[in-house]
Amino acid sequence: MSKILQSAFWLLLTHLLIHTAAAQPTNPIIIGHIDSLNSKTLQEKRGVWIYVPPASPEIGYAPKRYPVLYVLDGDWNFPFLTALTQQLSTVNSLGICPEMIVVGIPNTYRTRTRDLTPTHSTKRWDGAEDRTLSSSGGGGNFMAFLEMELLPYIDSKYPTVPYRLFAGHSLGGLTVLNTLATKPELFNAYLAIEPSLWWDNRLVLNKMLDRIQQREFHSQKLFLAVAHTAASLDTTQVRHDTTGSTIHTRANLALVDALRRQQPATLRWSWKYYSAENHASVAVPAYSDALHAFFRHPPLALPASVADPAFTLAAIQQQYASRSRQYGYVVPPPEEELNMYAWACMQQQLWAKALQFFQFNLNTYPQSFNAHTGLAAYYEARNDKRKALQYYQAALRIQDLPEARQKIQELQQQTGKP
């Protein structure tokens, strides 16, 4: 190719690339944002990645509050965890877990070993010296940062309920278990994926064994994920192996065996061995399995029709009381469900049952425009225009929406009331 042709070719290619880039859509898909706080404990500015579930597309509902999933190595795990929690909570009304806020805590190359190791050690799992571990041992400061700074900050700025999950992989899993062993009250549920329990002569494993022996938990939940890292050995063979290649897995299985022997009543734990996954690949299925385990509950056992005598407010309250015990915090029936049941009852002229649902919805969500207008519509249908007017006016004080103003104007004309 001549130099002239080469020049022409590159000019044409550059032109095409520029125009192709310009033609790309400019509306990004946003799944969260980056927040930050200046840590006095760590003496540095720390960024955190935040996902808050989207609000209901329908206006008028009360603001929601959510449990919070804190995940280490957030820069790796944040994107798929936001999708996973959304999928398991709301997509196709799965309801396997609640909607939740995800807080990704990035641990960069500079800070990861420092933050995620409880003691200073320069020895790898096989006992060999490793100079890349020279910054290790900052786990105490990192835990103080979590307890004294990050957790209060998130609770003060975001719509949280008092339920926290803590998740980590490898050294992150080590940090998760060290927190469970030393400060179990900081979180309600702990997910440790392939934790590096070999660290510093099994330091954290021994802490966990002491805590298990003393049975000093506070109704926490634990899910432990162990991968197939010993190429040709099963779990029985790993337990009896003495070579360096199985130190990591043997430490994890030692924790499983201790939990099996002691069965601490105040720790609801489960584990899974992933024979088809390795240390790196196990994270994705483990997160899904853990959320299933933490929030496992029976489905709502309601008849198909609101006209069925067994379809009652008391039955729904009982179901959600059971779910609250399972989750570990108060889980009220969703406003959208209560609203749907109330309107279905009213359409079938089940007036007493409709009133029960509307009133319970308002008592549960007193700051909801929708709950007030629902009860107003009920009284309007029952020809009690004065009460209807009162509830529309209360709704307008919460949210200034045209539908409420129009209804108020109509009812004021009909009743002669201001």
Instruction: Return the amino acid letter for 9.
Output: F
For 173-219, the pLDDT digits (tens) are 999 999 999 999 999 999 999 999 999 999 999 999 999 988 778 88
Rounded CA gap, 255 and 234, in Å? 17
* pLDDT score, position 172: 97
Task: Give the rounded distance of the alpha carbon of 128 from its chain centre.
Answer: 38
In terms of residues, how long is the chain? 418
* pLDDT score, position 1: 44
Q: Give the position of tokens 């032109």.
A: 15
* pLDDT score, position 32: 92
CATH C-level class of 33-294: alpha beta
Element (H, E) at 140: helix 139-145
Delimit the domains of the chain by residue range.
Answer: 33-294, 313-415
For 39-68, the pLDDT digits (tens) are 999 999 999 999 999 887 778 999 999 999
Per-residue pLDDT of the chain (418 residues; tens, 9 = 90+): 444 434 444 444 444 444 444 455 678 888 899 999 999 999 999 999 999 998 877 789 999 999 999 999 999 999 999 999 999 998 877 789 999 999 999 987 788 999 999 999 999 888 889 888 999 999 999 999 999 999 999 999 999 999 999 999 999 999 999 999 999 999 999 999 999 999 999 999 999 999 998 877 888 999 999 998 876 777 888 888 787 778 899 999 999 999 999 998 889 999 999 999 999 999 999 999 999 999 988 777 888 899 999 999 999 999 999 989 888 889 999 999 999 999 999 999 999 999 999 999 999 999 999 999 999 999 999 999 999 999 999 999 999 989 889 988 988 888 876 6
CATH C-level class of 313-415: mainly alpha
Concatenating the DSSP letter of every residue in 195-219 gives --TTHHHHHHHHHHHHHHHHT---S
* Short-list 107, 101, 48, 97, CA closest to 223: 97
* pLDDT score, position 404: 86
